[in-house]
Amino acid sequence: MKSLTPAQAITSRMSVRAFTNEVVSKEVILKLLDISARAPSGTNTQPWKAYVVEGNALKELCEKVCAAYDSIALNPELAKEYQPAYDYYPTKWFSPYIDRRRENGWGLYGLLGITKGDKEKMHAQHRKNFQAFGAPVSIFFTLDKKLGRGSMLDYGMFLQNMMVAARGEGLDTCPQAAWNDFAKIILPAIGAKENEMLVCGMALGYADKSEIVNSFHTSRVSAEEFTTWVK
């Protein structure tokens, strides 16, 4: 494989939603995590903690979370039992963020032939989150609950390092906040302690390029639009 420049690794990164079952070695995963740990953090606190889940352990965890997700579809009241440790999204959406969210969602669903109101197909597509999109590796990242908000900023840089480093190794990822709702199932299964909260999960593996879902690429607002020059 031809090596990528840093810019190529960053710009080719995307959320992959279909993976092959090709194994990712422990050595490569550790290499990616070591690279990621070079991320800056306030006073070098290094707040990240990673749980790598593979094989039967991943299969069993996916089955448990899928069962919970399906039960909520049948009885929405059960959603109250599954709450994330923090609000990833705003409690009330507003422009321009809601517009970008809709463009992203309907762009993906349109590609997959899922129309508005088709709840069964929407459920099935979202459910793939909890199958790690078929990836052979899912990594769950936790944070000590007592740490401050700044540690989440540190964590974002760590996760970005992970995704870009994966591209450098010819791998792909999908960062997933979707897992957060089911932290009460995930944290005990991975052996996390009481003081830990789930930040997100991340599917890791080799993209299945034959799947149409992986042809979906999101747009970005140009720097000219979000930048203000102060002189």
- Every domain of the chain and the residues it spans: 6-87+119-209
**Beta-carbon contacts of residue 108 (< 8 Å; ≥ 6 apart):** 213, 216
Residue 45 CA to residue 100 CA, distance in Å, equals 34
Q: For residues 166 and 226, is the Cβ–Cβ distance under 8 A? A: no
Q: Which residue in the block uniquely carries the two structure tokens 């999960």?
A: 201
- Check: CB of residue 51 under 8 Å from CB of residue 191: yes
CATH of 6-87+119-209, one of 3.90.550.40, 3.30.70.1150, 1.10.150.20, 3.40.109.10: 3.40.109.10
Taking the mean position of all CA atoms in its chain, how far away is CA 185?
17
Task: Give this prediction's pTM.
Answer: 0.96
Q: What is the CA radius of gyration of the chain?
A: 18
Task: Give yes or no for residue 2 having a pLDDT over 90.
Answer: no
Q: What is the pLDDT of residues 165-201, one digit of tens each?
A: 999 999 999 999 999 999 999 999 999 999 999 999 9
Say what the pLDDT of residue 200 is: 98
pLDDT band at 3 (very low <50, low <70, confident <90, very high): confident
